[in-house]
Structure 1
């Protein structure tokens, strides 16, 4: 895997592996999120403010929201290019744009994310330039806009489960990709067979841990589904998914 950095853009090539693919032979939706997290960390480390840098200062990067459009998911063994850039979105948040391109250079997936640096002990965000100076000033305007769904008057379909150890990452909380898996698992199999996932919009509210009793409130309207991932009465994450 080769990394290239030029004019504020960081890129790498990768092939879709068998265990990253689903029964349809395409990359699993959650794998896309894993890939984007990996290139985000690689780029941040190359710029000098990755995982090791922030952890040495009692800090951590946390993803606040993710907005993604999917033209198509790459197939098993397909080689694609991942490209990313980052810049300050506000004093407390960094925007990161990510794109996956096929061998012909066509964009097949695009995403915009917001990240914050938090003080691990206080669990509060800190100004980016307090520890990272100067933060990249390369223009990084939003590639994908958020999508919201009006759920007023809609009755939810409810599913309950227990968060498991396998969903945890090395930060000892539930990995962000698990929220997408949970949202997808709340949908009937027939729905997913009849529809293609074309957009993912995730808003992360608060971290979750293994052993917690979780609940999904699913709302459906047209080509949108809205998923409130709850722990008790507390909203931990909200997902709005677009379908074709």
Structure 2
């Protein structure tokens, strides 16, 4: 298999601040499967995280459904939507994380913004995602109010599963479901830890035995390299704003990076319908990364026009950070109608 061609983009100067923004380089194979287009070139830069807070203007702020289930409201703000006027995937990820912390605080399990219990704090333990799945039926738009229901269930001896259902507040329609498996990591050694019995006793009254709201994706996600990837995006580097209170990259940023290797033709004409992430290692402020994507070969015989990609994030030395799979469905409407404007030129032409 022919290795991808790496295209190097020159650094771009910011007009408002005399700051050199990091360049991002893209590569594609000469023969791209299915003719799905060529990855766009764009500049890295400042990232704005989603605002995962309650807003006093909402009709309903939050309510306790049961001892282990909390519902919290979010209003989609203008800075949380993408070019189509709908909430970005990163926004949803931040809502999930925010509601997880709010859930633990409301039921009395957690003591700080990191979602740690008293016994976890004593042992320098924090939660980290080991895997996550998101299934989306419809994306909320700007100014919509969504209600996120959160609960925690068991996931073996040394992990817990956080569960989310997002609904349209006005219609109660289910917009998406998400589920993640989280394990404990020692903040000092940065190594995974078994769950101490003291921590287990703290959590057991808040854990529920519930069915998995998303069936596990048992299909193996292959490890990609320069010869198997259809798209490669290099020059990725965390910004200070990407670092969370555990001093590693916020999980929503991983989604941003894997989407960087998706062709613009897909981003314009398709929407993300599901996502599976398998976290391998944490990423810190001084890391330099590459995002690889492969068009799944079985889509050549796909009759419903859906598109599927395998993903991998890795350090520049080849050590992998994350594997993932994304599935995309065609957009049924032109969401640019939301702005009553069809763009006359692409960003690269400005």
TM-score normalized by the length of structure 1: 0.92
Corresponding position of 2:143? 77
Tell me the CA shift for residue 124 of structure 1.
2.3
1:30-69 matched pairs, under 5 angstroms: 30-50=90-110, 51-53=115-117, 54-69=120-135
Tell me the CA shift for residue 150 of structure 1.
5.7
The answer to whether residue 217 in structure 2 is matched with residue 217 in structure 1 is no
Output one character per residue of 1:187-240: Cα deviation in whole Å (capped at 9) or x when no partner.
Answer: 111121121110011111110112322112211122211111001221101121
Output one character per residue of 1:102-155: Cα deviation in whole Å (capped at 9) or x when no partner.
Answer: 121111110111111222224222216432415234223211123335659982
Tell me the CA shift for residue 52 of structure 1.
4.9
Q: Supply the distance in 2 between the matched residues of 1:83 and 1:206 (Cα, whole angstroms).
A: 28
The answer to whether residue 263 in structure 2 is matched with residue 179 in structure 1 is no
Corresponding position of 2:313? 229
Q: Supply the distance in 2 between the matched residues of 1:152 and 1:184 (Cα, whole angstroms).
A: 17
Corresponding position of 1:100? 166
Corresponding position of 1:88? 154
The answer to whether residue 78 in structure 2 is matched with residue 18 in structure 1 is yes
Corresponding position of 2:23? none
The answer to whether residue 203 in structure 2 is matched with residue 118 in structure 1 is no
- Whether the 8 Å contact between 1:95 and 1:140 is mirrored in structure 2 is no
- Whether the 8 Å contact between 1:67 and 1:113 is mirrored in structure 2 is yes
Tell me the CA shift for residue 3 of structure 1.
2.6
1:3/1:57 Cα in 2 relative to 1: closer, same or farther (>3 Å)?
farther
Q: Pick one of 136, 144, 149 that aligns with 2:214.
A: 144
Q: Supply the distance in 2 between the matched residues of 1:4 and 1:117 (Cα, whole angstroms).
A: 28
SS in 1 for 2:130: strand
The structure number with the bigger radius of gyration is 2
Q: Supply the distance in 2 between the matched residues of 1:88 and 1:184 (Cα, whole angstroms).
A: 31
The answer to whether residue 230 in structure 2 is matched with residue 162 in structure 1 is no
Corresponding position of 1:3? 62
- Whether the 8 Å contact between 1:88 and 1:137 is mirrored in structure 2 is yes
Q: Supply the distance in 2 between the matched residues of 1:161 and 1:145 (Cα, whole angstroms).
A: 35
Corresponding position of 2:199? 131
TM-score normalized by the length of structure 2: 0.65
Corresponding position of 1:203? 278
How many residues get paired? 244
Structure with more of its chain in strand, by fraction: 1
Runs of 4+ aligned structure 1 residues displaced above 4 Å come to: 149-154
Comparing 99-108 with 122-131, greater Cα deviation is found at 122-131
Comparing 200-209 with 142-151, greater Cα deviation is found at 142-151
1:150/1:86 Cα in 2 relative to 1: closer, same or farther (>3 Å)?
closer
- Whether the 8 Å contact between 2:223 and 2:312 is mirrored in structure 1 is no
Give the RMSD, CA atoms, in angstroms. 2.0
- Whether the 8 Å contact between 1:146 and 1:201 is mirrored in structure 2 is no
Corresponding position of 1:27? 87
Comparing 140-149 with 62-71, greater Cα deviation is found at 140-149
